[in-house]
Amino acid sequence: LVQLPCESGHRFCVDCLRQHVEAVARPRCPEHLCSYELAEADVITACGEGPRLEEFRAAMLQRALDSMHGRITCPNNACSNVVVSDPERRSCVSCVCGTAPFCSRCRQPYHFHVSCEAIAPLRDRWLQWLSSGRSEYHGA
């Protein structure tokens, strides 16, 4: 039997605890209404060192990143990098993946002299000019 370090010290057989840990991404004590979240040592006890432990560590890291104040994800969908920036200030952010510098507030390409709210209308006007205005300008 394995005794978890929760307030009530709930006990489970290793096989039952392993099945529980393997079934959920962020395991808690299987006892109904117990809020104890299993720690890395509990996962090692249940499953040993292996792929499930690595998944658990990755989930805990993601949870910590998600809770960071001022956390900004790279706008490049192929990149999983995170940058921390002051959420009270708009700033230019560069990611090591090489994506173009972007705005910390709206994650659009960085716009030094223009507010985030003004970007969409300006982009729409630019696209409109590209699709028809440019040919009119050049007299085509």
pLDDT value of position 131: 86
Residue 69 tokens read as: 């104040």
pLDDT value of position 140: 60
pLDDT value of position 47: 93
Residue 17 tokens read as: 């605890």
Say which amino acid occupies 131: S
Cα 100 to Cα 24, 44, 60, 117: the distances in Å are 37, 42, 29, 20
Which residue did the predictor score with more confidence, 115 or 132? Answer: 115
pLDDT at 74 over 70: yes
Average pLDDT, the chain: 91
* Percent of the chain surpassing pLDDT 90: 62
pLDDT at 135 over 80: no
Compute the average pLDDT of residues 13-21. Answer: 95
Q: How many CB atoms lie within 10 A of CB 93?
A: 19
pLDDT at 83 over 90: no
pLDDT value of position 57: 94
Compute the average pLDDT of residues 27-55. Answer: 95
3-class SS string, the chain:
CEECCCCCCCEECHHHHHHHHHHCCCCECCCCCCCCECCHHHHHHHHCCCHHHHHHHHHHHHHHHHCCCCEEECCCCCCCCEEECCCCCCCEECCCCCCCCEECCCCCECCCCCCHHHHHHHHHHHHHHHHHHHHHHCCC
Under the banding of pLDDT at 50, 70 and 90, the label for residue 16 is: very high
Cα 53 to Cα 16, 39, 47, 132: the distances in Å are 17, 10, 7, 57
pTM: 0.61
List Cβ neighbours of 26 (8 Å cut-off, separation of 6 or more). 37, 56, 59, 60, 63
pLDDT at 29 over 70: yes
